Structure 1
Amino acid sequence: MFNAIRSAAACALLVVATFPAFSAETSHDMSSMKGMSDMPGMAMSSEASPSAQVYKTEGVVKKITADTVSIAHHPVAGLGWPAMTMTFALPKDGSLPALAVGEKIAFSFAQHAAGYQLVSATPLKITEVAMKRHTLSLWLSGCC
């Protein structure tokens, strides 16, 4: 009986002692994701680099300020990024169309000295084909 209690206490001590090391190893450090190590504080640059690689994805506009836009975007395969919400700098020249919170967009962005900046943004509209597929799926499900 005493040996069982001592064994259980030793196991509990071992678990407690190794937990901080385990937590440190499994933290969500994004520095191993390509391009993420250059994003301290997610500060954004207003100047575009003409030779910067341009990446494309889709997402939903979450917040707009005078010089930034936050977008919940799909994964970015070219950077190995998962889906996430990020803040991008807006170009100073006002070359993008007006965006609205909640709007789904296709967009492209490039890395700059201090972060990422939108290059283009196009609101996504429901196409006629998508509408027909949606209507057909509703009909097949017996909804309408």
Structure 2
Amino acid sequence: MHILFKLFAVATVALPAFNVGAADHHMDSQPLSARHSDAAPVFAASGTIKAWGEDTVSLAHQPIPQLNWPAMTMHFSLDGYQGQRFTAGQQVNFTFRQTDSGYALISVTAK
């Protein structure tokens, strides 16, 4: 019984110390999706703007070898994009990353 009491006392003091490391990173204040998307790789491509909306842009892009993608037309989210707007028909270079809901534009520049 005396040994059981000592084990309980040691566990009571030692276990809270394991939580200290997790609290030091302050990651609990960031949403999980923000942590994931910031770590997602960024890809670069070129293409032609098909349509520019309020929330999405439609781009006909060239093949993207890093992703083993052929040339195709895709919709990209503008969530977080802070660059200028482009019009249909403009040829552009752009960067994007994968998000939980699809793909989001990071930057767009005219060719």
CA RMSD of aligned residues (A): 1.7
| Greater strand content | 2
Q: TM-score, normalised by structure 2?
A: 0.65
Q: Structure 2: 5+ residue runs without aligned partners?
A: 1-33
Quick one: distance in 1 between partners of 2:53 and 2:107? 17
Contact 2:49/2:91 (8 A) holds in 1: yes
Q: TM-score, normalised by structure 1?
A: 0.51
Correspondence for 2:104: 117
2:73 maps to which of 85, 89, 95: 85
Count of residue pairs the alignment pairs up = 78
Task: Kindly indicate whether residue 28 of structure 2 is the aligned counterpart of residue 72 of structure 1.
Answer: no
Q: Which portions of structure 1, spanning 4 or more consecutive aligned residues, are displaced by more than 3 angstroms?
A: none
Task: Kindly indicate whether residue 32 of structure 2 is the aligned counterpart of residue 55 of structure 1.
Answer: no
Amino acid at match of 1:53: P
* Deviation string, structure 1 residues 37-91 (Cα, Å, up to 9, x no partner): xxxxxxxxxx671011111010000011110000000001110000000000013
1:108 deviation in Å?
Answer: 0.5
1:119 deviation in Å?
Answer: 0.7
Amino acid at match of 1:55: F
Quick one: distance in 1 between partners of 2:68 and 2:108? 21
Quick one: distance in 1 between partners of 2:55 and 2:101? 14
